[in-house]
């Protein structure tokens, strides 16, 4: 189906999936090979190796689809008909209900150019405040905690290769052996400590490295980190010079940590006090050491405070900004970092600027050639945006680019109701995922190897995505779709050429926190390694942040006092277990892509629930049985996997499956008060035989 630009020529690009953005070769036939790049050193995981099979996949969307009514099937239509219909309906709904009648939902998998143009499209072409994206589900708690502590949010403020020399690395809620396998190649010299309720492959590696696996009750990392901070103080491991020279706020933090001696913390989190002391001793005794968090620590109704608690421990030990040591967050989606910098977040404008800041509005409005007062204010966060759809004061139309919310958003039964209540659902996708198939209009778009653009990886390094082959006939790029809609809405200033969009993004980001103004396609194509901020064409970029100062006006990191708060939903007699959710190696996110790759689907074909054998037996279940996992919101079907190393009070579900196997039928949409991230990692459930 796909036609090579030049079939024999291979093009240097990056994997379509996660934030490690492993280097790939892709040729004009769509064949994929590993490519030497610092993050992956030539290796790819199974998802990366098999990504090429989606290019000419038989289920590939290759023509726009539309339905006359919700009860009618989707039918092929031409692009003019589809875009014309969408533009007309958007204007009608806005004329009747106001500009916020149209909502936009973006994604951290979109290129920088797409994220930027989508944000501009919402604010300028639609004039709506209702735009947010799936990064709310992903990174927002770590981002908010990083901003609060360090004054800037860049997941890893140092290159991945710095980890090669690490002696001790603590991974809190990060199963990188499955979620970013090549990253493990940077941790081979380190003693690893893995904090995870489950004995994951990463936890196994920790034990093999002479380290430890700490197995907290889901949702109690904050207390664990407080107990460790207490131990650090009492055992004399705190770096007093660093605290005095580079931080503020220790006394307030200590007032709380003082009350969480390790034995008391153990009673809440279940991690032995002796292990807390041992790990703190390791971190303090090494000269090159890191604390890294990922979604296990973050996807909680108190995720910002939980990450803050890990940051406080790292600061007390003097890690952030010290050469060879540090604190970081392992960003998830391919462009998870760039996706949160260019204005598809409800409260932001390009350059990581606040949409509520008059100076930021004036700058960006200047680049866009509009009156600053015409720009809408902040909108609703992803979960709240979805919850408002089709309501009297909520959006009547939704445009989705790059997210499969019917599988990946919390409490999907409610999301399905809200989508059904819309007057118009438009989804741009490459494959017929669950959300696309529920739409009124489906727009088929190009895949990674068929387009040009940039991505920003987990280190804040900007990378070039390059085109190896032409998209199938009938398929357009996301940029062409956005530009085509703007054109039909009668609004000028929406280029579809990626380089032109990037140059505009550079200008819009200039002077902002995430300043890309010095980064150009030419510099990237010449092989330069550019990490933002990069404020001038002759600026070398910033691989390491915080070496001299943190980004607050006083140059100091802020220690913020945080205390234990229980998860939003706790087990009770009816729902006696804590369910947590996450990922497996062979599937990506909502599974819209990887469930369609035969090699991957063959390995994990269906949803499963990890259960301690005693817990399974109590529920009348045995290994291999189908179970119903029941919460207050819904039920997910999953096959029982008995796992003796799991906590008996906890079960685990991957969220990669749809319909009745969707883990998000049970999850709790409770939100963190600061980041508005939902509590994907804890809810109360019971198990029943199916």
Ligand X SMILES: Nc1nc2c(c(=O)[nH]1)N[C@H]1C(S)=C(S)[C@@H](COP(=O)(O)OP(=O)(O)OC[C@H]3O[C@@H](n4cnc5c(=O)[nH]c(N)nc54)[C@H](O)[C@@H]3O)O[C@H]1N2
Interface positions with Mo ion (CB under 5 A)? 138, 332-333
Residue 285, C-beta contacts closer than 8 angstroms, at least 6 positions apart: none
195 touches, from ligand X, ligand SF4, Mo ion, none (C-beta below 5 to 8 Å by class): ligand X
Residue 182 interacts, among ligand X, ligand SF4, Mo ion, none and using kind-specific CB cut-offs from 5 to 8 Å, with: ligand SF4
| Angle (nearest 5°) at CA 464 between 462 and 466 | 165
Answer yes or no whether residue 178 interacts with ligand X by CB under 6 A: yes
> What is the C-alpha separation between 690 and 686, in angstroms, rounded?
12
Closer residue to ligand X, CB minimum distance, 138 or 530: 138
Per rule CB under 6 A, is residue 297 in the interface with ligand X? yes
Find all residues with CB under 8 Å of 654, minimum gap 6, and list them. Answer: 581, 582, 583, 584, 587, 604, 607, 608, 663
Q: Among residues 36 and 374, whose Cβ is nearest to ligand SF4?
A: 36
- Give which of Mo ion, ligand SF4, ligand X, none residue 102 binds (C-beta under 5 to 8 Å, depending on kind): none
Nearer to Mo ion, 333 or 348 (CB): 333
Residue span 586-615 as binding mask against ligand X, x where in contact by CB under 6 A, dash where not: -xxxx-xx----------------------
The whole-angstrom separation of Cα 231 and Cα 225 is 10
Q: Does 282 engage in binding with ligand X (CB under 6 A)? A: no
Size of the site for ligand X (CB under 6 A): 63
Q: What is the token pair recorded at 414?
A: 């409610």
**Structure tokens that stand for 431 in this block:** 């494959």
Instruction: Answer with the entry of ligand SF4, Mo ion, ligand X, none that 32 interacts with (C-beta below 5 to 8 A by kind).
Output: none
SS3 at position 133:
strand
Q: Which residues bind ligand SF4 (CB under 6 A)?
A: 15, 17-18, 20-22, 40, 44-45, 47-48, 180-182
Rounded CA gap, 128 and 355, in Å? Answer: 13
Closest to ligand X by CB, 277 vs 665, is 665
**Both structure tokens of 569:** 């939903």
Q: Is 430 in the site for ligand X (CB under 6 A)?
A: yes
Structural tokens at position 479: 């940029």
Residue 582 as a binder of ligand X (CB under 6 A): the answer is: yes
Query: Which residue in 176, 181, 226 sits closest to 196, CA to CA?
Result: 176
173 binds, among ligand X, Mo ion, ligand SF4, none (CB under 5 to 8 A by kind): ligand X
Is residue 182 involved in binding ligand X (CB under 6 A)? no
Beta strands in 416-558 (DSSP E): 424-429, 441-444, 453-456, 461-465, 530-531, 557-558
The distance of closest approach from Cβ of residue 603 to ligand SF4 in the complex, given in angstroms and rounded to an integer, is 14
Residue appearing with tokens 């800037």: 152
Minimum distance of ligand SF4 from residue 26's CB (angstroms): 12
By CB under 6 A, residue 155 contacts ligand X = no
Q: How far is CA 681 from CA 123, 222, 639, in A?
A: 33, 14, 19
Stretch that binds ligand X, among 24-32, 415-423, 511-519, 580-588 (CB under 6 A): 580-588
CB of 626 to ligand SF4, least distance (A): 29
Name the β-bridge partners of 14. 23
> Which partner, ligand X, Mo ion, ligand SF4, none, binds residue 430 by CB below 5 to 8 Å per kind?
ligand X
Q: Who's near 98: CB < 8 A, 6+ residues apart?
A: none
Give the nearer residue to Mo ion in terms of CB position, either 292 or 557: 292
Specify whether the CB–CB gap between 307 and 297 falls below 8 A: yes
Site string for ligand X, 217-236 (x = CB under 6 A): -xx-x---------------
Full DSSP string of 305-335: HHHHHHHHHHHHTT-TTSTT-EEEE---BTT
Among ligand SF4, Mo ion, ligand X, none, residue 130 binds (CB under 5-8 Å by kind): none
Site string for ligand X, 65-94 (x = CB under 6 A): ------------------------------
Radius of gyration of the chain (CA): 24
680 binds ligand X (CB under 6 A): yes
The residue among 35, 520, 488, 557 whose CA lies nearest residue 253 is 557
Asked if 132 touches ligand X (CB under 6 A), the answer is: no
From the list 295-303, 320-328, 377-385, 615-623, the region that binds ligand X by CB under 6 A is: 295-303
SS3 percent helix, strand, coil of the chain, rounded to 5, is 35, 20, 45
Whether the ω angle into residue 34 lies within 30 degrees of 0, i.e. cis, is: no
To the nearest whole angstrom, how small is the minimum distance from the Cβ of residue 24 to ligand X? 15
**Pairing of the two strands 353-354 and 348-349:** antiparallel
Residue 410 has, within 13 A of its CA and on its CB side, a CA count of: 30
Cα 115 from Cα 63, distance rounded (Å):
23
CB neighbours (10 Å) of residue 78? Answer: 12
**Least distance to ligand SF4, CB of residue 588, Å:** 7
Q: Which does 44 bind (CB under 5 to 8 A by kind): Mo ion, ligand X, ligand SF4, none?
A: ligand SF4
Query: Looking at 141-149, 169-177, 228-236, 314-322, which segment touches ligand X (CB under 6 A)?
Result: 169-177
**Residue 15 CB, nearest distance to ligand SF4 (Å)?**
3
Which phi and psi angles does 26 have, rounded to 5°? -130, 130
Footprint of ligand X on this chain (CB under 6 A)? 18, 107-110, 134, 137-138, 172-176, 178-180, 195-198, 200, 216, 218-219, 221, 294-297, 299, 332-333, 401-404, 407-408, 428-431, 433, 445, 478, 580-583, 585, 587-590, 592-593, 652, 655, 663-664, 667, 680-681
């Amino acid at each position: 189906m796909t036609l090579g630009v030049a079939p024999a020529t291979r093009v240097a690009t990056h994997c379509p999936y996660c934030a490690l953005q492993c280097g790939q070769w892709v040729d004009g036939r769509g064949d994929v090979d590993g490519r030497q790049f610092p993050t992956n050193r030539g290796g790819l995981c199974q998802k990366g190796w098999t990504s090429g099979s989606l290019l000419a996949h038989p289920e590939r969307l290759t023509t726009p689809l539309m339905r006359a009514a919700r009860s009618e099937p989707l039918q092929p239509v031409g692009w003019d008909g589809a875009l014309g219909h969408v533009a007309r309906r958007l204007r009608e709904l806005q004329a009747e209900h106001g500009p916020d009648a149209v909502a936009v939902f973006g994604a951290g998998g979109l290129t920088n150019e797409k994220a930027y143009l989508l944000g501009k499209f919402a604010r300028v072409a639609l004039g709506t405040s209702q735009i947010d994206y799936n990064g709310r589900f992903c990174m927002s708690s770590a981002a908010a905690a990083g901003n609060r502590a360090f004054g800037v949010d860049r997941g890893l403020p140092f290159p991945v290769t710095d980890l090669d020399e690490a002696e001790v690395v603590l991974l809190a809620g990060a199963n990188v052996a499955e979620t970013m396998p090549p990253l493990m190649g940077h941790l081979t010299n380190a003693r690893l400590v893995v904090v995870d309720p489950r004995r994951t492959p990463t936890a196994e590696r920790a034990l093999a490295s002479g380290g430890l696996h700490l197995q907290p009750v889901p949702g109690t990392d904050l207390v664990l980190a407080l107990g460790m901070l207490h131990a650090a103080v009492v055992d004399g491991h705190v770096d007093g010079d660093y605290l005095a020279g580079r931080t503020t706020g220790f006394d307030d933090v200590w007032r709380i940590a003082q009350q969480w001696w390790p034995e008391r913390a153990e009673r809440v989190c279940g991690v032995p006090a002796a292990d807390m002391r041992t790990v703190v001793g390791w971190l303090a005794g090494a000269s090159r050491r890191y604390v890294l968090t990922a979604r296990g620590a973050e996807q909680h109704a108190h995720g910002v405070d939980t990450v803050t608690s890990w940051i406080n421990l790292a600061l007390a030990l003097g890690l952030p900004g010290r050469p060879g040591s540090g604190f970081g967050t392992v960003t998830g989606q391919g462009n998870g970092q760039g996706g949160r910098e260019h204005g598809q977040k409800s409260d932001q404008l390009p350059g990581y600027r606040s949409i509520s800041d008059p100076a930021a509005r004036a700058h960006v409005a200047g680049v866009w050639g509009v009156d600053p007062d015409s720009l809408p204010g902040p909108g609703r966060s992803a979960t709240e945006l979805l919850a408002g759809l089709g309501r009297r004061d909520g959006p009547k139309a939704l445009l989705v680019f790059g997210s499969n919310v019917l599988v990946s958003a919390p409490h999907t039964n409610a999301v399905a109701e809200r989508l059904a209540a819309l007057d118009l659902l438009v989804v741009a996708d490459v494959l017929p995922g669950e959300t696309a198939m529920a739409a009124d209009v489906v727009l088929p778009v190009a895949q990674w190897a068929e387009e040009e653009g940039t991505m920003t990886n987990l280190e804040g390094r900007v990378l070039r995505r390059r085109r190896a082959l032409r998209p199938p006939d009938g398929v357009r790029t996301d940029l062409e779709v956005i530009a085509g809609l703007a054109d039909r809405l009668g609004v000028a200033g929406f280029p579809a050429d990626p380089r032109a969009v990037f140059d505009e993004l550079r200008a819009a980001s200039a002077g902002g926190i995430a300043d890309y103004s010095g980064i150009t396609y030419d510099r990237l194509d010449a092989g330069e390694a550019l990490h933002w901020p990069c404020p001038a064409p002759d600026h070398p970029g910033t691989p390491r942040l915080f070496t001299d100062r943190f980004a607050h006006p006083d140059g100091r990191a802020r220690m913020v006092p945080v205390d234990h708060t229980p998860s939003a939903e706790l087990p009770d007699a009816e729902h006696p277990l804590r369910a947590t959710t996450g990922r497996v190696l062979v599937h990506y996110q909502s599974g819209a892509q990887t469930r369609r790759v035969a090699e991957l689907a063959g390995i994990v074909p269906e949803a499963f629930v990890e259960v301690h054998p005693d817990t399974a037996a109590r529920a009348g279940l045995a290994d291999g049985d189908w179970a119903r996992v029941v919460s207050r919101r819904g039920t997910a079907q999953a096959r029982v996997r008995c796992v003796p190393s799991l906590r008996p009070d906890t079960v685990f579900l991957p969220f990669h499956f749809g319909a009745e196997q969707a883990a998000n039928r049970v999850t709790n949409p409770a939100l963190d008060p600061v980041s508005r991230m939902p509590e994907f990692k804890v809810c109360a459930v019971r198990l029943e035989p199916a």
